[in-house]
Amino acid sequence: MNEVIDRRGFRIFPGYFDSESQIALVEDLREVLRQAPLVQPVTPRGQKMSVRMSAAGRFGWISDRKGYRYEERHPSRVPWPPIPDRVLALWGDVAGCPRDPECCLINWYGEGARMGLHQDRDEADFTCPVVSVSLGDEGLFRMGNVERGGKTESIWLRSGDVVVMGGAARLAHHGVDRIRFGSSSLLPNGGRINLTLRVVT
Ligand code: SIN
Ligand code: FE2
């Protein structure tokens, strides 16, 4: 497997999933989203986020007027569906972590959606990495530093690419500046799906 390591420790696996596996993954996710539909979260200050979210696993990450947190249930009160085996197999292959992921967050980016530079730091334990999967339209992924500010670099993530943020990169800032809507034919209506796997407790 081809692997690129950024100077901060971001590990990128271009084309980790071939097109057949991408189609199978999307099928797995359709089943998850049937049980736990995407919702458009609001920030604690009441601003709508541009991505839609759902999750699989013991926990889902939620943002609403009460704040950011992990919850064991979808806002509809149903428990999150299990993380698909195909996704667990990816974790086993690249995470190098003895624990299983407890959250598979599903972010859906429609036309114009983005995600501002942030750190993933709502977890109790930072020894395991965050593993991210890109599906569908290309997304411009910005990689920053652990400290706020400083130089950043951006790369286009394509459908099937995997990024591992561990070690020195576990708390590095990152975000998605924009997507190239309609650049992939994986999702019939366009858009980008990003999965992020994390150990939470
Ligand atoms: C995230 O950091 O939550 C999403 C990253 C991405 O969409 O690639
Ligand atoms: Fe993140």
**Per-domain boundaries in the chain:** 5-37+57-198
pLDDT of 29:
98
Ligand 1 site-directed mutation target among 120, 176, 195, most atoms within 8 Å of CB = 176
Mean residue pLDDT across the chain: 96
Q: Does residue 173 register a pLDDT over 90?
A: yes
Residues 39-76 pLDDT 10s: 999 999 999 999 999 999 999 999 999 999 999 999 99
194 lines ligand 1 (CB under 6 A): yes
Distances (CA, A) of 109 to 168, 177, 179, 187: 27, 11, 8, 11
pLDDT of 1:
80
Cα distance between residue 176 and residue 117, in whole Å: 7
Residue nearest (by alpha carbon) to ligand 1 atom 5: 175
Counting from 1 in the atom list of ligand 1, the atom nearest the Cα of 118 is: 2
Entry pTM: 0.96
Counting from 1 in the atom list of ligand 1, the atom nearest the Cα of 194 is: 7
- Which class is domain 5-37+57-198? mainly beta
107 lines ligand 1 (CB under 6 A): yes
Q: Does residue 2 register a pLDDT over 90?
A: no
pLDDT of 126:
94
139 lines ligand 1 (CB under 6 A): yes
pLDDT of 53:
98
Task: List the single range of 6-15, 92-101, 190-199 with lowest mean pLDDT.
Answer: 6-15
Residues 135-161 pLDDT 10s: 999 999 999 999 999 999 999 999 999
Q: What is the number of the ligand closest to the CA of 154?
A: 1
